[in-house]
Amino acid sequence: MPKNQFIDPERARRKSEITFKPILVNHYDRTVKQELAWLKGEDLIRIQRDMLIIRWFETMLNEVKLRANFKGVEYTHRGPAHLSIGQEAEAVGQAFLLGVDDHIYGSHRSHGEILAKGLSAIQKLDDERLMDIMENYFDGDCLRVVECDAEGSMKDLAIDYLIYGALAEIFGRETGFNKGMGGSMHAFFLPFGIYPNNAVVGGSGDVSVGAALYKKINHKPGIVIANIGDASSACGTVWEGICLATMDQYKKLWDEEHRGGLPLIFNFVNNFYGMGGQTDGETMGFGILARLGAGINPEQMHAERIDGYNPLAVIDAIARKKKILERGEGPVLLDTLTYRFSGHSPSDASSYRSREELHAWQEVDPLTTYAAELIKAQVCSQSDIDELNAKTEELVFKAYKKAVDLNISPRADLMKTDCLLDKTMFSNEKVESMEPGRKPEVLIRKEENPRVKMLSKRSRSAFDADGKRFPKSKCINIRDALFEAILDCFYVDPTLVAYGEENRDWGGAFAVYRGLTEALPYHRLFNTPISEGAIVGSAVGYGLEGGRALVELMYCDFIGRAGDEIFNQLSKWQSMSGGMLRMPVVVRVSIGSKYGAQHSQDWTSIVAHIPGLKVVFPATPYDAKGLMYSALTGTDPVIFFESQRIYDQPEEFVKGGVPVGRYEIPFGEPAIRKEGSDVAILTIGATLYRAMDGARELEEKYGISCEIIDARSIVPFNYGNVIKSVKKTRKILLASDACERGSFPIAEKEAEVVGGGLGDGI
Ligand SMILES: Cc1ncc(C[n+]2csc(CCOP(=O)(O)OP(=O)(O)O)c2C)c(N)n1
Ligand SMILES: [Mg+2]
């Protein structure tokens, strides 16, 4: 069912012009007094309290970084601390209306957003729910620390918990929100809707798109906000994320129940600087960042600049933009202006800006200007503000004393065997459906699928009963075997989605997906822009929200375009969450063989080098199907390599061929393809067939007997059978299509003994 959108040459070639709507800049102009019409005095005071908590939290971190001391208690913090002193109004204003179903993703400078969102969640959750969260999060480890001297209400306890949990994480303690495995730039706390913060600038720009996709596709409540810096607006991840988030198909091609834009706000926290480069006037050319929305879509992404130095202006903007998202008209771009008094990091000498500029912004410090407004509107008095200030300082000091004490807040022991890192690098679970009980949305019954019908007529093995080869075109091959596993999983896991370039009507790269278009509605199988970074990055967001994604990169060589997403995002969030997150994402990558230097590389070694990724490379249809089932029922990120040389390959090793039904091949177990006694050859991927040919030649011409082992997976890899083979043969030769240097090493001496003639790639 190809899409039915006629491109009319007459219309396309007609003379016309594009007009832009005005983009609002700082249009909020109400006063505290006016806001009292809908906000209570206590809410308005809470805004001041939350800003003060963030200010004291970061003032403490600044003191610690600069002087290794806060209020007389010494501590040396060796980790980073990117502070947002001066930016508090932006964080608190944004969080004010958000519920726990609204998820925020952030940057290296997100302490303020974590605290603000947490404080807002605490305000909204009832006591029972709060206790439930604190009791159950990592078995209450963090709660135990704060409850012993708790005073006051449940909300007071939860505030202690929040401040301590975030700080202990920043200080790398096992009692922190992510067991100390995330630290300052990555800390998060899912139960309050605080999702991963990202040390890679712009990292959240595409991860958040996947989170919004998850909400939209699976009808989950809430919105998503990507808090990213102004300088990140130049990042490829952010542009790709914006392109993926604004595809017309959401509004034009998706079925009625899923139609409409993504519930997502790209919130550019615009403090006018990168580290030292000034975005307005030096490193970018937009003048005012909100301009960026204008070119993206006719809605101009509802872009607007808002005054992030006034918390009420931010609340107003979030309220208005939330309504836009709820109407299905997202995504939205916000340019939230703010300014940091602190340096990029505490060691920053601020050599790139003038004292006058800093002072001019300090003159309009939101903490003093907003407090003055509260007093003017008679919401509270100066002494109330002073009391609040002293109380919040004390709150932070209390958490600080606990977080620096190694007896109360120990570090995880990463030297012992089976340590936290071992346990959290992979989740290693088996989960067939990420949402059991929900019916997967499909268009037809599996049996009605034209490709399923066609495949039912093919031989499942390469050979007939007499051992005679069938013509290849009459057999189930690797691409068919992959299709069978993938199609079946779509009928089991309702959250499973597949997307990438030309995935839908085209039939996917190399026709693996032919037949899926007939089976699946648009929201489960769709084409994306040529944005390899965002394809993988969004899958990361989709996975960490609780869904399963199967994405595809066409050629292995394009991994470079998705480098950060594969190497830093996909691979890291399970361990950096201390084991709280799972990452059920499968990335299919095919290796070319005849398209020149940019389309023919085997990068299995590069990917296998990165901790946190599972890597498989089937060479037979039986394995392709079984490994795909394992990948799509696991909870870990898998880079699934395929070779274009052998998509047509029928099953010739397993008697009976490729089973019709479901079966799994566990990762890590190499398969002996041929027994022999003189030399072992361990093959990766398509070299299996050349090794088999070579072995035949060696046997016939030189009487050398080869044992052939097919690696099947690279990470994990069980050496047991390989060692057994080597004990027998005393020699091993490793074969792959990858470049030899830096690859899984070839045992050169043995290769010399065996001699040449094994064909290229060995
Ligand atoms: C991809 C990447 N490039 C460079 C850096 C180093 N770096 C850290 S913060 C930063 C500036 C980011 O500016 P912006 O996005 O405006 O955020 P801000 O620091 O102002 O909050 C840079 C260049 C990084 N962490 N990631
Ligand atoms: Mg900035």
pLDDT in tens, 380-389: 999 999 999 9
Segment 387-414 mean pLDDT = 97
Q: What percent of the chain has pLDDT over 90?
A: 92
Task: Work out the average pLDDT over 191-206.
Answer: 98
| Ligand 1 close to Cβ of residue 205 (< 6 A) | no
Helix ranges, 137-286 (H): 141-147, 154-170, 204-217, 236-245, 249-252
Question: Measuring from atom 3 of ligand 1, which residue has the nearest CA?
Answer: 201
Cα 356 to middle of ligand 1, angstroms: 24
Per-position DSSP letters for 286-298, written without gaps between them: -SSGGGGGGGTST
What average pLDDT does this structure show over 28-57? 97
pTM: 0.96
Task: Write the secondary structure of 350-392 as one string of H (helix), E (strand) and C (coil).
Answer: CCCCCHHHHHHHHHCCHHHHHHHHHHHCCCCCHHHHHHHHHHH
pLDDT at 86 over 90: yes
**Distance between CA atoms of 381 and 377, rounded to whole angstroms?**
10
**Which atom of ligand 1 is nearest to 230's Cα?**
16
> Has residue 701 got a pLDDT over 50?
yes
The ligand 1 atom at the shortest distance from the C-alpha of residue 109 is 21
Q: Would the pLDDT of 450 be above 50? A: yes
How far, in Å, is the centroid of ligand 2 from the Cα of 399? 29
Place 744 in a pLDDT band, splitting at 50, 70 and 90: low
Distance 162 CA to ligand 2 centre (A): 26
Give the residue among 138, 133, 191, 189 at the shortest CA–CA distance from 163.
189
Q: Is 274 in the pocket of ligand 1 (CB under 6 A)?
A: yes
pLDDT at 755 over 60: no
Strand residue runs (E) in 523-635: 525-527, 549-555, 585-591, 614-616
Q: In which element (H, E) is residue 105 found? A: strand 103-106
pLDDT average, residue stretch 86-107: 98
648: CA distance to ligand 1 center in Å?
A: 46
Residue with the bigger pLDDT between 513 and 740: it is: 513
**564 contacts 572 by C-beta, under 8 angstroms:** no
Question: What DSSP letter does each residue of 672-710 carry, written as one string?
Answer: EEE--SSEEEEE-TTHHHHHHHHHHHHHHHH---EEEEE
- Cα–Cα distance, 390 to 369 (Å, whole number): 18
- What is the spatial distance between Cα 453 and Cα 339, in angstroms, rounded to a whole number? 63
Ligand 1 contacts CB of residue 273 (under 6 A): yes
Paired tokens of 213: 């996709």
Average pLDDT of the residues in 153-179: 98
The Å distance, Cα 286 to ligand 2 centre, comes to 14
Q: Is the omega angle on the peptide bond into residue 716 within 30 degrees of 0, that is, cis?
A: yes
Residue numbers annotated as active site: 599
| 109 close to ligand 1 (CB < 6 Angstrom) | yes
C-beta separation of 556 from 595 below 8 A:
no
Closest CA to 224 of 112, 332, 316, 144: 332
| Mean pLDDT of the region 412-424 | 89
Other CB atoms closer than 10 Å to residue 247's CB: what's the count?
Answer: 18
Rg (CA), the chain: 29
Res 762: pLDDT: 31
Q: Provide, rounded to the nearest whole percent, the portion of the chain with pLDDT above 70.
A: 97
83 lines ligand 1 (CB under 6 A): no
Point out the ligand nearest to the CA of residue 337. Answer: 2
Whether the predicted pLDDT of 143 surpasses 90: yes
Flag whether pLDDT at 183 surpasses 80. Answer: yes
| 57 in contact with ligand 1, CB cutoff 6 A | no
Mean pLDDT, residues 390-395 taken together: 98
Instruction: Give, to the nearest 10 degrees, the angle between helix 154-170 and helix 127-136.
Output: 30
- Assign 741 a pLDDT band (cuts: 50, 70, 90): confident
Nearest residue CA, atom 20 of ligand 1?
A: 274
Report whether pLDDT(197) > 50. Answer: yes
Q: How far apart are CA 674 and CA 512, in angstroms?
A: 29
Q: What would the pLDDT profile of 253-279 be if each residue is shown by its tens digit?
A: 999 999 999 999 999 999 999 999 999
pLDDT in tens, 648-662: 999 999 999 999 999
Distance 510 CA to ligand 2 centre (A): 43
The ligand 1 atom nearest the CA atom of 232:
15
Ligand 2 centre distance from Cα of residue 307 (Å): 15
- Closest C-alpha to 503, from 485, 520, 526: 526
User: Is the pLDDT confidence value at 176 over 60?
Assistant: yes
Q: How confident is the model at residue 714, as a pLDDT?
A: 94
Q: Which one-letter DSSP state was computed for residue 582? A: -
Gap between the Cα atoms of 145 and 408, Å rounded? 7
* Main-chain dihedrals φ then ψ at residue 537, nearest 5 degrees: -60, -40
Confidence bin at 758 (pLDDT 50/70/90): very low
Residue of 760 and 538 predicted with greater confidence: 538
Nearest to 119 by CA among 339, 362, 321, 395: 395
Mean pLDDT confidence for 389-407: 98
Lowest average pLDDT, out of 32-46, 65-79, 340-354, 452-466, goes to 340-354
Distance CA 492, CA 471 (A): 33
Query: What is the distance between the alpha carbons of residues 591 and 616, in angstroms, rounded to a whole number?
Result: 13
- Of 201, 283, 344, which is best to mutate to test ligand 1, by the most ligand atoms within 8 angstroms of its C-beta? 201
Q: For ligand 1, say whether the CB of 229 is within 6 Å of any of its atoms.
A: yes
Q: Are 357 and 363 in contact (CB under 8 A)?
A: no
pLDDT value, residue 2:
62
Task: Report pLDDT for 536.
Answer: 98
Q: The sheet that has 732-735: what strands, in order across it?
A: 671-674, 706-710, 679-683, 732-735
Q: Tens digits of per-residue pLDDT, 291-333?
A: 999 999 999 999 999 999 999 999 999 999 999 999 999 999 9
- Does the CB atom of residue 275 touch ligand 1 within 6 A? yes
Q: Is the pLDDT of residue 226 over 60?
A: yes
Give me the mean pLDDT over the 632-652 stretch.
98
In this structure, the residue with its CA closest to atom 22 of ligand 1 is 275
Looking at residue 749, what is its pLDDT?
A: 40
From the alpha carbon of 275, which atom of ligand 1 is closest? 11
Q: Is ligand 1 within 6 A of the CB of residue 201?
A: yes
The 103-106 sheet, strands edge to edge: 24-25, 304-307, 332-337, 264-270, 224-229, 103-106, 194-197
Residue with the nearest Cα to atom 17 of ligand 1?
229
pLDDT in tens, 663-687: 999 999 999 999 999 999 999 999 9
